[in-house]
Structure formats: C-alpha cells, structure tokens
Amino acid sequence: MAPEECPHGGGDACDPLPSSGLPRGVLRRSDPRHRGGRGRRPSQICRRPLGSAIRRWDMKLRIALFLLLGGLFLLHGCLFPTVVTKEDDGRLVTLDRGDLLVVRLEGNPSSGYEWELVDPLEQGALEQVGEREFVSEGNDDIVGAPGTFVFRFRAVASGTIPLQFVYERPWEEEPIEAFSVVVYVR
C-alpha cells in the first residue's frame, strides 16, 4: 500500500507511522512523534513547524482587525455626530454623505422664545431627522428652567446648504437672536 500524500506539500514533511503492533491510528505516548494526533490523519504524523500555524492565525487576526477598523470608519458619522453650538455661528461645517449633524442652541421656551429653522429644507444636501427637541437642564420639575433646543440633520447628497435659525416669539415680527452655519456635504 502506497503512503498517503502529505496535506502540507509532500516530501519528507510527513512520515507514515511504523507498524507497532497497536491498532491503526494508535500511538504510544512514549513515542517521540506522539503530538496528540487531533485533527490529523491517524496514519500520519506531521513534522510541520508550529510557526506556520501561528503565521496563519496572525494573518487571520490582521484581516479581522482591518475589517473591524474599516467598519468603524464607515460608521463614524452615525456613531459620532458633528455637534454645532452657538459658538460656531457663521462657520463652514464639512460632512460626508450619511453623517449626522446636531445643532444645539440654548434657550428658554417658558419666556415664549423658541429657536426655529428659517427656511425649511427642500430636496437638497440635508434632511431633517425627527422634530426639534427641547432638553431641559437639570431638574425637570422646575418651571421656566432653561435648556437646549436640538435639531438633527443627515447629509444625504453632495452640495452646499446654509442653515439659518432665529430665536423669536411666534407673535413678534423681529427675532432677538440669529444663528447660521453653512454645511458642505462631500
């Protein structure tokens, strides 16, 4: 019977077991070639160096790490939105498609003043995500407590769009404050 081919390239890397009087596939633990035999053909012992197995795992680990980092890079815009506040008034904000922009403006709706988007967004580079929210500071039980108006936008297409907000009472003609940023979507 001819010896089986070595799965690792042939040659003298694998030797067939000598007949030892034991049933086929059984090695004595005292045999220096006994290495547990798990995952190997019982009729062969491989003298392939352990380093090649480590290199294979090293390569698999590198590929997995590369894919993980690439996925995190793509999700960066969703996981970590760009936040704009009153200090960014007049600034140019650059986003990639799919990124989230959060505009946070301090105010007090109990005084009648509210932050409003001047021109509603039409088909363009940004779309508003949800409705405007008001997040109060500290204890919600305090009537008239100041807080923050929060607007969320998603970059959907390439282009440049100005965002303008006014702080006004709906029944008055002139706002007491204004805020604007220009958003460029790559």
Total domains present in the chain:
2
Tell me the Ramachandran region of residue 64: left when phi exceeds 0, alpha when psi lies from -120 to 50, beta otherwise: alpha
Overall average pLDDT of the 119-138 stretch: 84
- Containing domain of residue 107, as a range? 82-185
3-class SS at 109? Answer: helix
Indicate if 106 and 144 belong to the same structural domain: yes
Indicate if 91 and 58 belong to the same structural domain: no
Specify the pLDDT at position 120. 74
pLDDT digits (tens, 9 = 90+) for 4-24: 555 555 444 454 545 555 555
pLDDT exceeds cutoff 80 at 40:
no
Specify the pLDDT at position 102. 96
pLDDT exceeds cutoff 90 at 145:
no
Indicate if 96 and 23 belong to the same structural domain: no
Angle (nearest 5°) at CA 162 between 164 and 168: 5
- Element spanning 55, H or E: helix 50-79
pLDDT digits (tens, 9 = 90+) for 149-183: 999 999 999 999 999 999 999 899 899 999 999 99
Asked whether residue 2 is assigned to any structural domain, the reply reads no
Other Cβ atoms closer than 10 A to 93? 17
Specify the pLDDT at position 45. 52
Indicate if 106 and 65 belong to the same structural domain: no
Asked whether residue 3 is assigned to any structural domain, the reply reads no
Indicate if 99 and 59 belong to the same structural domain: no
182 or 122: which leads in pLDDT? 182
Alpha carbon 122 to chain centroid, angstroms: 29
Give the residues across from 44 on adjacent strands: 16
User: d(Cα 101, Cα 83) in Å, to the nearest integer?
Assistant: 6
Note whether 150 and 59 are within 8 A (CB): no
Specify the pLDDT at position 61. 83
Asked whether residue 160 is assigned to any structural domain, the reply reads yes
Note whether 146 and 137 are within 8 A (CB): yes
Asked whether residue 113 is assigned to any structural domain, the reply reads yes
Asked whether residue 120 is assigned to any structural domain, the reply reads yes
Indicate if 57 and 98 belong to the same structural domain: no
Specify the pLDDT at position 128. 92
52 or 12: which leads in pLDDT? 52
Asked whether residue 6 is assigned to any structural domain, the reply reads no
In this structure, what CATH number is given to the domain that contains residue 100? 2.60.40.2020
Which of 48, 77, 106 is where one domain is finished?
77
User: d(Cα 123, Cα 145) in Å, to the nearest integer?
Assistant: 36
